[in-house]
Amino acid sequence: MAETWNNKIVFASENRGKIRELKALLGGMDVDLLSLHDYPDAPPIVEDGHTFFENALKKARVISEYTGRTVIADDSGLEVDHLGGAPGIRSARYAGVGATDEENIRKLLTEMKGVPGNQREAAFKCALVLYRADGTFEAFEGELKGTISLEPSGSQGFGYDPVFIVPEYDMTVAEIDPETKNRISHRGKAFAKLKESLLEGRTI
Ligand code: ITT
């Protein structure tokens, strides 16, 4: 089938875990998802916003202006009540710029050491922006509530999934199968709203 301009959407992300999830979420739709790995010379994006939404909008705008395409951007992270909402927008670089998921998890568990079970509430948050080349955009949000475990468990997903327990499943997100994660997760919920908008023809 010939490629058309309109079915190509760029996901303004380098995070392979997020890209994998978004590809699965788009399954069945006539959309060809590119990512920043297809644009190695794209300008670096300084995530200097104060909210997930501000950062998602900036990523989407910069990459849409660079590529001339419709762009989806996600800014997401973990908010832990006991830590006053940290790591929040700093989730990817909690243990330092370029930190691995393991390093971020280790720092989180150190900060949460000795905190009792009833004070370990947290939430994953996601802001998703779809930005068109003409400068108009739509924004969607999603949230998943849970608690921080005492130690990592499970091997699926990415980021903080091994230490985030979903009470309804009594499992960490890294122990839950990917399809279920995409149905219940912060990104999955935000994406479901975006998809509804795409299917109604309101968005692109
Ligand atoms: P891009 O900006 O290239 O998309 P990033 O990893 O830097 O990738 P963010 O700035 O949005 O993305 O940071 C999100 C971080 O929040 C991510 O690196 C994880 O540590 C965490 N996170 C977000 N969604 C998550 C999920 O579904 N499961 C586990 N951790 C998640």
pLDDT of residue 27: 83
pTM for this model (two decimals): 0.93
From residue 165, give the alpha-carbon distance in Å to each of 125, 148, 171, 181.
15, 6, 5, 12
Q: Are 41 and 94 in contact (CB under 8 A)?
A: no
Over the stretch 124-165, which tens digit does the pLDDT of each residue have? Answer: 999 999 999 999 999 999 999 999 999 999 999 999 999 999
Which position among 41, 75, 101, 170 bears the catalytic label?
75
**Residue-range domains of the chain with CATH:** 2-199 (3.90.950.10)
Over the stretch 27-49, which tens digit does the pLDDT of each residue have? Answer: 888 889 999 999 999 999 999 99
Please tell me the least confidently modeled range out of 31-35, 74-78, 82-86: 31-35
- Let me know if 105 is exposed, middle or buried by CB neighbors in 10 A (0-12, 13-18, 19+): buried
Atom nearest to 47 CA in ligand 1: 10
Tell me which residues have their CB closer than 6 angstroms to ligand 1: 13-15, 18, 47, 74-78, 91-92, 104, 124, 157-161, 173, 185, 187
79/148 Cα distance (integer angstroms): 10
